[in-house]
């Protein structure tokens, strides 16, 4: 059995008017065209849907059953139209954002500001490491990604929206905290805890020191900025992290940022999506919001 929406719309019009002629007028069709569509529909279901008694047209039992389904289908189509209208007007819908773990320190603040402006939009924030983030891009499991170094191996659009300075942190009572313009080679000799191999931050740090003819004295590798901050605060060593991750520690004086020559290392935060991704109106609006106003919420 093959039913078309056109046939069901014509059937519903005839049933509502109890007349082929009035249904034809409503649908701007000829009366023979309406009659032909009803005959094809009856042939399709192998049941009569109308019966003519004198000048009156009545639904059969099968016709009454079909009319009930037609009304529910019509309502569902109207519901779909309402959903699409809501999405276009940004009064509802979903937005999925995946961010590098380091970016989580400011991403939640951005999404909170966006949510206040568009309260009916359902937001999903996924915080993960670079490896999982790249898998998310490959499998098209998210709308937008906030990350550091964009992947060269994927065909993506990447837009810079903010600087990401990497700074050297030390325990607050270390004597280096009172010094200015500490030579970079002096820092390179100190025990340092850094992110794990494969991390974009680790790559940027090693490339920076190598460009100055230096190598780091790495005492430990850790997979999260939070662990690095804890180690440095405990006095185990120095660390290099994004300045965006230590706002609270600086306010509470649990850490200090060292004044080092040639630093900070300036990286950037990117808003990334696949080039073949068809962004929803909500995703496009978030991009505009982030690029035009994001800085107001990150100071």
Q: In this predicted model, what pLDDT tens digit does every residue of 47-76 receive, in sequence order?
A: 999 999 988 999 999 999 999 999 999 888
pTM here is 0.69
Q: How far apart are CA 179 and CA 202, in angstroms?
A: 25
Flag whether pLDDT at 26 surpasses 80: yes
Q: Picking from 90-94, 148-152, 219-223, 260-264, which range would have the lowest pLDDT averaged per residue? A: 90-94
Q: Phi/psi at 93 (nearest 5 deg)?
A: 120, 180
Q: What is the DSSP letter of 149?
A: S
Q: How far apart are CA 291 and CA 217, in angstroms?
A: 38
Q: Please calculate the CA angle 270-200-261 and round it to the nearest 5 degrees.
A: 95
Q: Picking from 9-13, 73-77, 92-96, which range would have the lowest pLDDT averaged per residue? A: 92-96
Give mean pLDDT, residues 249-256.
94
Flag whether pLDDT at 191 surpasses 90: yes
Backbone torsion region of residue 46, taken as left when φ is above 0, otherwise alpha when ψ lies between -120 and 50, otherwise beta: left
Give mean pLDDT, residues 133-140.
88
Q: Which helix (H) or strand (E) holds 286?
A: helix 281-293
According to DSSP, the β-strands at 94-100 and 217-222 are unpaired
Q: How far apart are CA 122 and CA 67, in angstroms?
A: 36
Flag whether pLDDT at 280 surpasses 70: yes
Q: How far apart are CA 165 and CA 163, in angstroms?
A: 6
Flag whether pLDDT at 201 surpasses 90: no
Q: How far apart are CA 281 and CA 113, in angstroms?
A: 18
pLDDT band at 78 (very low <50, low <70, confident <90, very high): confident
pLDDT at position 86 is 65
Q: Picking from 33-42, 51-60, 75-84, 182-191, which range would have the lowest pLDDT averaged per residue? A: 75-84
pLDDT band at 212 (very low <50, low <70, confident <90, very high): very high
CA separation, residue 257 to residues 104, 118, 191, 249 (Å): 20, 37, 16, 10
Q: How many CB atoms lie within 10 A of CB 129?
A: 16
């Amino acid at each position: 059995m093959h039913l078309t929406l056109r046939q069901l719309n014509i059937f519903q019009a005839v049933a509502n008017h109890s007349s082929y002629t009035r249904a034809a007028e409503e649908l701007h069709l000829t009366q023979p065209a309406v009659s032909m569509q009803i005959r094809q529909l009856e042939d399709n279901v192998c049941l009569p849907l109308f019966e003519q008694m004198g000048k009156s047209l009545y639904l059969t039992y099968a016709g009454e059953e079909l009319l009930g389904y037609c009304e529910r289908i019509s309502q569902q189509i109207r519901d779909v139209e309402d959903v699409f209208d809501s999405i276009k007007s940004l009064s509802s819908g979903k937005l999925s954002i995946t961010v590098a773990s380091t970016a989580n320190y400011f991403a939640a603040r951005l999404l909170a500001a966006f949510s206040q402006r568009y309260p009916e939009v359902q937001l999903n924030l996924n915080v993960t490491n670079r490896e999982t983030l790249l898998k998310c891009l490959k499998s098209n499991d998210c709308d937008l990604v906030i990350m550091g170094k964009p992947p060269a191996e994927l065909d993506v659009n990447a837009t810079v929206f903010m600087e990401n300075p990497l700074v050297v942190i030390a325990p607050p009572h270390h004597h280096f905290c009172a010094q200015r313009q500490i030579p970079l080679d002096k820092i390179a000799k100190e025990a340092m805890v850094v992110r794990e191999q494969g991390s974009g931050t680790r790559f940027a740090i090693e490339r920076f020191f190598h460009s100055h003819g230096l190598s780091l004295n790495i005492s430990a590798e850790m997979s999260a900025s939070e662990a690095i901050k804890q180690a440095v605060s405990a006095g185990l060593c120095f660390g290099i992290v994004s300045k965006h991750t230590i706002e609270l520690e600086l306010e509470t004086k649990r850490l200090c940022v060292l004044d080092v020559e040639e630093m900070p290392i300036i990286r950037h935060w990117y808003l990334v999506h696949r080039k073949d991704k068809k962004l929803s109106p909500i995703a496009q609006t978030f991009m505009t919001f982030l690029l035009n106003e994001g800085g107001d919420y990150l100071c």
